[in-house]
């Protein structure tokens, strides 16, 4: 069934007339995503990849009808206003691609989303992709590559790193294992759908039989996933790799969220906690496909859809 | 995160009406003496460094007179406290402390909201206080749109057992502290200790504030020049790298040095990651081979070739490397020929003689590897390019193997580029210059610059390449510095095209440390 994106969802692209907006709209459309409208203030009336552009999100929704998802390709300082605009227009899921969005802006977006019952992925996300159903954001780069690399199967993929999301899906695919949905949670410390929230969505998805997770040092997302396993809220097998083993305390490793502070968010802490609750944690990234295969075969789960 | 020194943080507290001790920062003993004189009475002289436990390391001392303040300042300035050398001290009035409290505001990423915390016991670390005296600690999440209301702050303080007038004053301080955090977008703002003095007034005796990196651009008044979280001061090379990043919003370039003072054969590798997760995972692979990492780099988020080039030049400005290793997630969405060209330009200029292993997996990987491996024979170093089907582990093993083999080709340094006879130039968005020597271009059969330009901004006019847009448009960013006009020209054209990309401070730095 896939989570977050499939062929039924109607998608809006904010910042559609910018360089990123245009290129990625092409990716999304060519991959089969149902992109119904775009919005760039001042550019209403234009068309991008056959998609009509509006001046405001409200106008887009008023003209097209219900829009389920908005993907944002606007400069970081403008993200807050763009996100609030979509939430106010009734869009229930946002995918915030840009990097460097100020943290307090994210807090405002989080508050407004919560009030409206809306959710968001990111910021600083490569996006979300459900093989052969649709893609939101930039994942895959080109539709032809995405089609080549990804196919449907039983594994949900969640990652704090963008490139790694595609890699994991690709290497699993090479092992013969397909995916339901690939989710890039985003590299920032405050994100709309962190690992535990994505894992809960995978729990509810009947087609997802196992989850592969790429974790990192910093924040407490992986520990929260362990908590979900422990209290029975997440019951499917989890196979994980935690990056940043070599990282020292107090130093950030690129991602705003990848930093060990005050003894919290350590590599050892996450690995230990996950192992404690019965998750499979591999030492080397390359071991993920084989470990996942073993887990699926043990449970008699077919590797492809 | 961008950390503020105590005196800088206190200035912000003062702006929002929180009382701080009278005094100010001093960079010389004489300044310290002058401030002590202005303050009148005994003063505290405090090292301004981002280290806890300053007092125990001799970084905080009392001075009874201005003359003593000068002497104490002389002792403390230049002192090494942890990994920092003190260049500023804060000279401020001594407080007659009656009671100490703890107050902070931090962004709680799990709750997606700010958390204000107060304790009726201050002075020591909050973890200790919370463990040993839990009933004295109270916290509350703040609604970002509502802010911290006065009654919420008073009730927060009340829950720790403080009543009456003191409760009212402390509540007021909490509201102001939240205001500081919200206004300057602090990841964390902590006053420990927050004190009551003899006359009943509340003072912020100490202050630690870190500002969100991503918000620094809209708080120029803070004068932050280096917004990275490090447990030591930035190195010169890190500052140079940071300036590249600050000047170019396209993609990411993150650079930190992990070691210094190593030499050839110590097994240190220049590390060039792509993508935060891919970089960490690849770094883990290199370390598993017993190699050491000289630096951590991440160029990702669709960086232009020019950014990758600058990153490589900076990495190669570390003397003593035994190898150069590049690797990302393996399955990049961005076309990999951008990175490949950036690397090739840098490797040629540096005439690299240490083995190079680059894992360029993802979109257009075949083309990227081809671009990279053309270097073999043109520089002393052996160069190997890998794709997504080659694991990071395998590539790390290749790096180790090539380093052990220690082979280099005997390739002489190429002659320096002659002055162009018929230069055609235009500027680029990061202050670079694209030059075509039309005298040379005229002899070119392939004109690959025109065909391979990623943004297709060149055309042929009388058989030589010129812009098909205005120079102003090119400078504004239509030229994305893809470097095809230099790299492809070099290999498949006549060599008339090239791009100069300045890296402020790098040439001086290299001259200073003795590398060309």
| Chain B residue nearest residue A103, CA to CA | B212
Residue A253: what pLDDT?
Answer: 67
Residues B367 and B483 both lie in one domain? no
Between A217, A243, A255, which is nearest B281 by CB?
Answer: A243
CB B8 within 8 A of CB B204: no
**Same domain, residue pair B211 and B298:** no
Both B290 and B377 in one domain: the answer is yes
How many angstroms away from the CA of A237 is the closest CA of chain B? 22
User: Of the ranges B31-40, B222-231, B402-411, which is most confident?
Assistant: B31-40
Q: Does position A248 have pLDDT exceeding 70, yes or no?
A: no
Q: Which tops the pLDDT comparison, A78 or A189?
A: A78
Query: Structural domain of residue B372, as residue ranges?
Result: 236-405
| Chain A CB contacts of B277 below 8 Å | 159-164, 187, 214, 216, 243, 255
Best to test chain B binding among A23, A84, A99, A104 (most B CBs inside 10 Å): A104
Rounded CA separation B269/B325 (Å): 7
Domain boundary among B190, B222, B254: B222
pLDDT at A258 over 80: no
Residues B257 and B393 in one domain: yes
Which phi and psi angles does A195 have, rounded to 5°? -40, -50
Whether B138 shows a pLDDT value over 80: the answer reads yes
Q: Is the dihedral of CA A120, A122, A123, A127 positive or negative?
A: negative
A34 tagged catalytic: no
Closest C-alpha among B329, B266, B326 to residue B296:
B326
CB contact residues (below 8 A), chain B span 116-175, against chain A? 127, 143-145
Residues of chain B positioned with their CB less than 8 A from the CB of A187: 276-277
The pLDDT-based confidence of A256 (bands split at 50, 70, 90) is low
A167·B329 Cβ contact <8 A: yes
In chain B, residues with a C-beta closer than 8 Å to the C-beta of A141 are 332-335, 362-363
Pairing between β-strand B323-328 and β-strand B356-359 as defined by DSSP bridges: parallel
Mean pLDDT of B212-220: 91
Q: What is the pLDDT of residues A69-98, one digit of tens each?
A: 999 999 999 999 999 999 999 999 999 999
pLDDT over threshold 80, residue B230: no
Per-residue pLDDT, B400: 97
**Is the same domain home to B312 and B353?**
yes
The verdict on B161 and B38 lying in the same domain is: no
Q: With an 8 Å Cβ cutoff, is B259 touching chain A?
A: no
- Mean pLDDT of chain A, nearest integer: 93
The token duo for A93 is 């899921």
What average pLDDT is seen over chain B?
94
Residue recorded with tokens 């701080």: B20
Is B108 among the domain residues?
A: yes
- Chain B residues whose beta carbon lies within 8 Å of the beta carbon of residue A161: 275-278, 280, 329
Q: Is position B46 within any domain?
A: yes
Q: Are A59 and A85 in contact (CB under 8 A)?
A: no
Would you call A111 and B283 a contact, using CB atoms and an 8 Å cutoff? Answer: no
Chain B residues touching A194 at Cβ < 8 A:
110
B365 lies in the same domain as B330: yes
* Number of domains within chain B: 4
In a domain, B507, yes or no: no
B211, B286, B291, B333: which to substitute to probe chain A, counting the most A Cβ within 10 Å?
B333
CB A97 within 8 A of CB A122: yes
The residue that leads in pLDDT, B166 or B128, is B166
- CA A255 to chain B, closest CA, distance in angstroms equals 6
- Note whether B248 and B391 are same-domain residues: yes
Whether B513 is in a domain gets the answer no
CB pairs under 8 A between A and B: 190
CATH number at residue B51: 3.30.1490.20
Query: Inter-chain contact B277–A104, Cβ cutoff 8 Å?
Result: no
- Residue B418 to residue B370: CA distance in whole angstroms: 28
Locate the chain B residue with the closest alpha carbon to A285. B281
Asked if the model's pLDDT at residue A255 lies above 70, the reply is: no
Instruction: Verify that B322 and B343 share a domain, yes or no.
Output: yes
Q: What is the tens place of the pLDDT at every residue in A100-120? A: 999 999 999 999 999 999 999
Q: Is residue B7 part of a domain?
A: no
Q: Which residues of B touch A256 (CB under 8 A)?
A: 213-214
Residues 6+ apart with CB under 8 A from A111: B112, B113, B143, B144, B145
d(CA B63, CA B450): 71
In chain B, residues with a C-beta closer than 8 Å to the C-beta of A104 are: 107, 144, 182, 185, 212, 215
Chain A residues closer than 8 Å to B114 by CB: 107
Are B499 and B454 contacting, i.e. CB atoms less than 8 angstroms apart? Answer: no
Residue B510 lies in a domain: no
Query: Contact, B172 vs B150, CB < 8 A?
Result: yes
Phi then psi for A73, rounded to 5 degrees?
Answer: -125, 60
Closest residue in A to B231 (Cα) is A250
Nearest to A113 by CA among A89, A97, A129, A77: A89
For A143, which residue in chain B has the nearest alpha carbon?
Answer: B333
SS3 B325: strand
Residue in B1, B213, B276 nearest the CB of A187: B276
Note whether B388 and B278 are same-domain residues.
Answer: yes
**Closest listed residue to residue A239, CA positions, set A271, A265, A207, A217:** A271
Contact A139 B333 (CB under 8 A): yes
Mean pLDDT value across residues A25-36: 97
Q: Domain of B344: which CATH number?
A: 3.40.50.261
Closest CB from A256, A258, A262 relative to B213? A256
Reported as a single tens digit per residue, the pLDDT across B81-111 is 877 889 999 999 999 999 999 999 999 988 9
Whether A284 sits inside 8 A of B285 (CB atoms) is yes
Same domain, B117 and B150: yes
* pTM of the model as a whole: 0.90
Q: Which of A253-262, B94-103, B345-354 has the lowest mean pLDDT?
A: A253-262
Q: Please report which confidence band the pLDDT of residue A140 belongs to, taking 50, 70 and 90 as the band edges.
A: confident
Q: What's the rounded mean pLDDT across residues B497-515?
A: 95
| pLDDT in the model for residue A275 | 96
Q: Identify the sign of the CA torsion A35, A144, B249, B108.
A: positive
Q: Is residue B3 part of a domain?
A: no
Reply yes or no on domain A10-121 having CATH 3.40.50.720. Answer: yes
Please give the DSSP secondary-structure letter assigned to residue B476: I
Q: How much is the pLDDT for B250?
A: 85
Band of pLDDT at residue B10, cut at 50, 70 and 90: very high
Neighboring chain B residues of A249 at a CB cutoff of 8 Å:
231
Name the residue in chain B with its Cα closest to that of A23.
Answer: B334
DSSP readout, B214-260? Answer: GGGGG-GGG--------SSPPPHHHHHHHHHHHT--SSEEEEEE---
Contact check, Cβ <8 Å, A163/B215: no
Residue-wise pLDDT for B408-436, tens only, equals 889 999 999 999 999 999 999 999 999 99
- Cβ neighbours for A51, distance < 8 A, ≥ 6 positions apart: A13, A16, A25, A29, A35, A36, A37, A38
Residue of B nearest to A150 (CA): B331
Tell whether B171 is covered by a domain. Answer: yes
For residue B73, the distance in angstroms to the closest alpha carbon of chain A comes to 29
Q: Does domain A150-298 sit in CATH 1.10.238.10?
A: no
Across the interface, whether the CB atoms of A190 and B300 are under 8 A apart is answered no
pLDDT band at B228 (very low <50, low <70, confident <90, very high): confident
* Strands annotated E in chain A: 10-14, 34-39, 47-48, 51-54, 69-72, 93-96, 119-121, 127-130, 134-137, 152-159, 179-184, 210-216, 238-243, 280-281
Q: Read off the pLDDT band of B202 (50, 70, 90).
A: very high
Which pair of tokens denotes residue B252?
A: 């990411």
CB contact under 8 A, A170 and B330: yes
Q: From the list B110, B218, B275, which residue is nearest A163 (CB)?
A: B275
Specify the pLDDT at position B80. Answer: 86
User: Hey, where are the domains in chain A?
Assistant: 10-121, 150-298
Q: Which of B275, B286, B383 is nearest to B331 (CA)?
A: B275
Average pLDDT over residues B219-224: 89
Please state the rounded mean pLDDT for residues B478-490.
97
- What pairs with residue A1 in β-bridges? none
Q: Strand, coil or helix: what is B296?
A: strand
Q: Given 3-state DSSP classes, what are the helix, strand and coil percentages for chain A, each rounded to the nearest 5?
A: 35, 20, 40
Same domain? For B270 and B393 the reply is: yes
Give residue-wise pLDDT tens across range B444-464: 999 999 999 999 999 999 999
Catalytic residue among A34, A184, A195, A255: A255
Rounded-to-integer distance, Cα B201 and Cα B233, Å: 36
């Amino acid at each position: 069934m896939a989570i977050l994106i499939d062929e039924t969802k109607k998608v809006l692209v904010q910042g559609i007339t910018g360089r990123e907006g245009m290129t990625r709209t092409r990716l999304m459309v060519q991959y089969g995503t149902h992109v119904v409208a775009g919005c760039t203030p001042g550019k209403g009336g234009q068309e991008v990849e056959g998609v009509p552009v509006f001046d405001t999100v409200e106008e887009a929704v008023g003209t097209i009808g219900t829009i389920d998802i908005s993907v944002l390709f606007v400069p970081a300082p403008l993200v807050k206003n763009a996100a609030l605009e979509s939430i106010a227009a009734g869009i229930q899921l946002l995918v915030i691609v840009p990097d460097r969005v100020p943290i307090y802006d994210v807090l405002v977006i989080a508050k407004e989303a919560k009030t409206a019952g809306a959710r968001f992925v990111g910021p600083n996300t490569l996006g979300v992709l459900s093989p052969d159903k649709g893609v939101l954001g930039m994942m895959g780069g080109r539709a032809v590559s995405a089609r080549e690399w990804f196919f449907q199967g039983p594994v949900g993929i969640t990652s704090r790193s963008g490139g790694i999301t595609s890699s994991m899906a690709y290497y699993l695919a090479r092992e013969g294992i397909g995916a339901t949905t690939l989710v890039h949670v985003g590299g920032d410390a405050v994100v709309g759908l962190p690992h535990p929230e994505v894992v809960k969505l995978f729990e509810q998805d009947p087609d997802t039989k196992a989850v592969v997770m790429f974790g990192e040092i910093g924040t407490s997302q992986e520990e929260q996933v362990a908590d979900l396993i422990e209290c029975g809220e997440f019951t499917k097998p989890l196979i994980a790799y935690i990056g940043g083993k070599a990282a020292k305390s107090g130093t950030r490793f690129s991602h705003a969220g990848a930093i060990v502070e005050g003894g919290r968010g350590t590599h050892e802490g996450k690995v230990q906690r996950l192992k404690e609750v019965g998750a499979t944690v591999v030492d080397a990234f390359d071991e993920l496909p084989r470990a996942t295969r073993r887990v699926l075969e043990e449970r008699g789960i077919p590797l492809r859809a | 995160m961008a950390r503020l020194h105590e005196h800088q943080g206190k200035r912000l507290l003062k702006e929002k009406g929180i009382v701080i001790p009278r005094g100010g920062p001093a960079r010389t003993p004489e300044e310290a003496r002058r401030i002590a004189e202005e303050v009148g009475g005994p003063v505290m002289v405090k090292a301004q460094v981002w280290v806890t436990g300053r007092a125990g390391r001799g970084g905080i001392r009392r001075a009874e007179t201005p003359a003593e303040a000068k002497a104490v300042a002389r002792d403390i300035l230049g002192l090494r406290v942890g990994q920092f050398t003190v260049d500023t001290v804060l000279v401020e009035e001594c407080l007659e402390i009656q009671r100490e409290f703890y107050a902070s505001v931090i962004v709680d990423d799990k709750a997606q909201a700010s958390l204000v915390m107060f304790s009726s016991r201050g002075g020591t670390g909050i973890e200790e206080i919370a463990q040993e005296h839990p009933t004295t600690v109270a916290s509350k999440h703040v609604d970002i749109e509502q802010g911290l209301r006065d009654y919420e702050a008073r009730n927060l303080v009340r829950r720790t057992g403080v009543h009456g007038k003191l409760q009212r004053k402390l509540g007021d301080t909490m509201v102001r502290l939240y205001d500081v955090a919200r206004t300057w977008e602090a990841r964390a703002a902590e006053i420990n200790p927050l004190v009551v003095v003899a006359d009943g007034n509340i003072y912020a005796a100490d202050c630690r504030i870190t500002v969100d990196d991503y918000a620094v651009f809209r708080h120029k008044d803070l004068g932050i020049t280096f917004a990275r979280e490090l447990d030591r001061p930035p190195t010169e090379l890190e500052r140079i790298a940071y300036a590249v990043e600050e000047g170019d919003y396209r993609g990411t370039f993150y650079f930190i040095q992990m070691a210094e003072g190593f030499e050839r054969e110590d097994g240190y590798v220049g590390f060039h990651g792509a993508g935060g997760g891919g970089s960490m995972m690849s770094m883990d692979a290199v370390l598993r081979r017993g190699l050491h990492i000289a630096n951590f780099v991440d160029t990702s988020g669709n960086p232009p070739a020019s950014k990758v080039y600058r990153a490589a030049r900076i990495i190669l400005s570390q003397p003593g490397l035994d190898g150069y290793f590049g690797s990302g997630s393996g399955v990049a969405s961005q076309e990999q020929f951008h990175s490949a060209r950036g690397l090739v330009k840098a490797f040629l200029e540096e005439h690299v003689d240490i083995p190079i292993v680059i894992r360029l997996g993802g979109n257009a990987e075949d083309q990227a590897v081809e671009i990279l491996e053309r270097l073999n024979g043109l520089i002393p170093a052996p160069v190997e390019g890998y794709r997504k089907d080659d694991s990071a582990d395998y590539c790390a093993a290749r790096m180790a193997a090539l380093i052990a083999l220690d082979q280099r080709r005997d390739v002489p340094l190429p002659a320096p580029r002659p002055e162009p006879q018929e230069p055609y130039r235009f500027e680029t968005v990061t202050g670079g210059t694209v030059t075509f020597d039309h005298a040379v271009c005229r002899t070119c059969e392939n004109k690959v610059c025109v065909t391979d330009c990623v943004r297709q901004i060149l055309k042929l006019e009388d058989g030589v390449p010129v812009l098909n847009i205005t120079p102003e448009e090119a400078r504004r960013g239509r030229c994305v510095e893809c470097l095809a006009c230099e790299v492809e020209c070099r290999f498949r054209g006549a060599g008339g095209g090239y791009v100069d990309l300045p890296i402020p401070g790098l040439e001086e730095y290299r001259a200073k440390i003795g590398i060309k």
